[in-house]
């Protein structure tokens, strides 16, 4: 279990982020067209997992915009924006913001993602949603970068994540 804060108040996750150098836990997530994807669908490129509570918050929306912009010219990177939002809300947001360089995916049918990646919040007002985190995988699915953002309402370390992408 890890501890983060929400507006300064301690919140706990169900576990810990995957360890650096370990094989990433497999996952199944749902795209905006309601099809399911798995980790193996993205192997062969580096994978940036931008994990957050909901696209309907300012910080989460900002993170999606920033990763969309900053990964625009990285042809060997896939950015998955992962939340429990319904795929319809994710699709609407990306269309309204013209975000085409990120892939929004939902845990709504597959909540095990939050457990296996150690990011599901276990208490507090956001219990059941995910904490803010970034996990980067190499082309073979090995964990090469992690950040559990200490304050849920804060933005991730973009420079650190982008540096890990190479």
Q: Kind and range of the H or E element at 148?
A: strand 143-148
- Cα 159 to Cα 57: distance, rounded to the nearest angstrom: 22
* 60 catalytic per annotation: yes
Short-list 31, 30, 70, 16, CA closest to 48: 70
- Which string of DSSP letters, residue by residue, matches 35-96? -EEEGGGTTTSEEEEEE-S-TTSHHHHHHHHHHHHHTTT-TTEEEEEEESS-HHHHHHHHHH
Per the residue annotation, which of 60, 71, 81, 94 is the catalytic one? 60
Q: Which residues are catalytic?
A: 60
């Amino acid at each position: 279990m890890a501890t983060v804060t929400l507006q300064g108040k301690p919140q706990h996750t169900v576990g810990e982020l995957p360890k650096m150098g370990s094989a990433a836990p497999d996952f199944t997530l749902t795209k905006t067209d309601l099809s399911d994807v798995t980790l193996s669908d993205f192997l062969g490129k580096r994978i940036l997992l931008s994990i957050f509570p909901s696209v309907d918050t300012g910080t989460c929306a900002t993170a999606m915009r920033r990763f969309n912009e900053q990964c625009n010219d990285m042809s060997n990177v896939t950015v998955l924006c992962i939340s429990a939002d319904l795929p319809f809300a994710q699709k609407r947001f990306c269309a309204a913001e013209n975000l085409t360089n990120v892939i929004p995916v939902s845990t709504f049918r597959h909540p095990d993602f939050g457990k296996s990646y150690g990011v599901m919040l276990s208490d507090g007002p956001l219990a059941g949603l995910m904490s803010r985190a970034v996990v980067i995988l190499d082309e073979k699915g090995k964990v090469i970068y992690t950040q559990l953002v200490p304050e849920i309402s804060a933005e991730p370390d973009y420079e650190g994540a982008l540096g890990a992408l190479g």
